[in-house]
Structure 1
Amino acid sequence: METQRYIIGKRDEKGFYPVKVCAIAAGTIHRRHGSWYATMPGHPVERAADRDQAAALLVARVDQGDRPTIPAPAPVTPATRIHGLRATRSYSHLMPSLRLSLANLVRSAEATARLAQLGWTPLEGYPGADQPWLMECRLCGWKGRRFWSHLRGRNGDNTPRPITRHPGCIPVADHAAALITLAAERARECGCERKHPTWISEALDALAAIQTALDGKAFMSAAIYSRSIVEPCPASTRRAEVLRAALTRRTNALKNLKNQ
């Protein structure tokens, strides 16, 4: 039996596992959207089917003489800034790694709305369902990373897990009363200084403006327009509802045009 030559370390708060190959710090592996990836700094990221295959890719790199290197910092342009927290604090709720698209923006709005119902405040942009997301517990002030896929429930069960929320939170018996108190903050209409869409017509206009900017490669404009979708708002539940309806209407209209 072949001896395993790699050691996978403990996952960090951003979801990366350090990997050592024969005592050499070879890089990291991580899972994103159903696939695993191996990263050796200074070399291309490689995709794998599972964590062991990802670690094996790092073993192969070490065997062929590759070693981690620190690449020169890439120039920062509007096209790269809008995808992450590297922009300005004004854009802190943009998605840190997901492609900026209408579908991802609507998913972000839906996740943000559900977090408000569950007593959580996101502290960064929506990273996707299976990536750790930095957020704050409204019940006690705890800050840390949770997985949206755990909070939304799985396989048709909408019960967030774990029931205890996180270590050190208030007793489970007090959760319901605390969430009822927080629910009083939510509204059906946006009262923010910067208007957020809460009607179908407004949602259609917002999506059209973003897509037009993306089609024209006006990435900074797209990021600015996207703020109306991803920023916190007391009417986040209604905003998510109208955005989903608007996206469905827009998608159906495009399909009908193609079929004509």
Structure 2
Amino acid sequence: MEQQQRYIFGDRDEKGLYPVTVDDIPAGTVHRRHGSWYATMPGHYLVKRYTDRHQAAAHLVTLIDQGIRPTGEAPTPRTPGDLIKSLRATSSYSHLVPPLRLSLANLVRAAEAMARLAELGWKPLEGYPGADQPWLMQCRLRGWQGRRFWSHLRGRNGDGIPRPITRHPGCKPVSEHAQALSDLAALRISTCPCPPFPRDKHPMDADTCLDILTSIQAALDDHAHMSALVHARSILEPCPAATRRATALRAAYERHAKAQQGLKADKRK
């Protein structure tokens, strides 16, 4: 109880961070990601997870009691997030946002989410952060920019109905949405028209996608994150045929997962 009385939560910002003051000292922030809570303090790298925001804030109290204070910008260790930033030669913001784990499952989910955003008339302005994190995007109907949760846009309980129905303040009337999205749909095609970069066009069939996923997994197994991200560009970069690519990626991922299960079964024999 003593620690709970010493910290105060501020209002949640657009990135999902709650500022925390301890004994009137700005101590850092806490945030929720994928069911767990984390504490952050500028100048210190904190990775421990907690079950609720009060436990995370209590950790900031402990740091303050140890004489530790925020010191400028938090140092960032060499992580996949750093490597992602080094690949910004592409004009897209299509890679994963740290600390979302770099994995085949997350890469495929990211490709599917961005393909569906195009169908819904949204443009991502940063990498896919996960379903339950605020995602910066732009409305292609009115140009509005802000953060939306992918879990809301993809619909609830499998109904596929994006929320909110009104999209955002100042958007077109709901009655005009269907026609506006139909007009945008004419820009989507089933064949990749993009120039080969760095080597081939974006993959559009399950066999090619399986080759890429296999290469990514091999790089991850060797802890070669830069190599994995280079391969990942072809499945995450914007493409007018992103819907077809996402479908092929899902089929390839399921084949890859099934093959991995078979290998594990053989090893147990």
Q: Would the TM-score normalized by the shorter structure come out above 0.5?
A: yes
* CA deviation after TM superposition for structure 1 residue 216, in Å: 3.1
Per mean C-alpha deviation after superposition, the further-off stretch among 206-215 and 158-167 is 206-215
- Runs of 4+ more than 4 Å apart: 71-75, 77-80
Do the aligned residues in 2 keep the contact of 1:85 with 1:92 (CA within 8 Å)? no
Which amino acid is 1:203 matched to?
C
Could you tell me whether the CA contact under 8 Å between 1:122 and 1:133 is conserved in 2? yes
1:172 aligned residue: 174
Asked whether the 8 Å contact 2:205–2:248 carries over to 1, the reply is yes
Q: In structure 2, list runs of 5 or more residues that go unmatched.
A: none
* Range 176-185 or range 155-164, more displaced: 155-164
- In the TM superposition, residue 256 of structure 1 has moved relative to its aligned partner by 1.3
Tell me the TM-score normalised to structure 1 length: 0.90
**1:163 — aligned with what?**
165
Distance 1:149 1:56 in 2: 29
- 1:210 is aligned, of 212, 216, 219, to 216
Shift of 1:42: 3.1
Identity of aligned residues (%): 63
Of the three residues 50, 53, 69, the one matched with 1:51 is 53
- TM-score (ref. length: structure 2): 0.87
Q: Does the residue aligned with 1:232 lie in a helix, a strand or coil?
A: coil
Is the 1:81–1:87 contact (alpha carbons within 8 Å) kept by the matching residues of 2? no
Q: Report the more deviating stretch, 38-47 or 28-37.
A: 38-47
SS of the residue corresponding to residue 251 of structure 2 reads helix
**More deviation, 146-155/62-71:** 62-71
1:130–1:148: 8 Å Cα contact kept in structure 2? yes
Aligned-pair Cα RMSD in Å: 2.2
User: 1:85 is paired with a residue of what secondary structure?
Assistant: helix
Shift of 1:11: 1.9
Instruction: Check 1:155–1:78 CA distance in 2 against 1; reply closer, same or farther (3 A cut).
Output: closer
**What is the letter of the counterpart of residue 58 of structure 1?**
L
- When residues 50 and 159 of structure 1 are mapped into structure 2, their CA distance, relative to the original with a 3 A threshold, is same
Residue-pair matches, total: 258
Q: 2:210·2:253 contact (CA, 8 Å) conserved in 1?
A: yes
Report how far residue 74 of structure 1 moved: 5.3
Query: Aligned ranges for residues 94-105 of structure 1 at < 5 Å?
Result: 94-97=95-98, 98-105=100-107
Check conservation: 1:46, 1:57, Cα contact below 8 A.
Answer: no
Equivalent residue for 2:32? 31
**What is the distance in 1 between the residues matched to 2:82 and 2:76?**
11
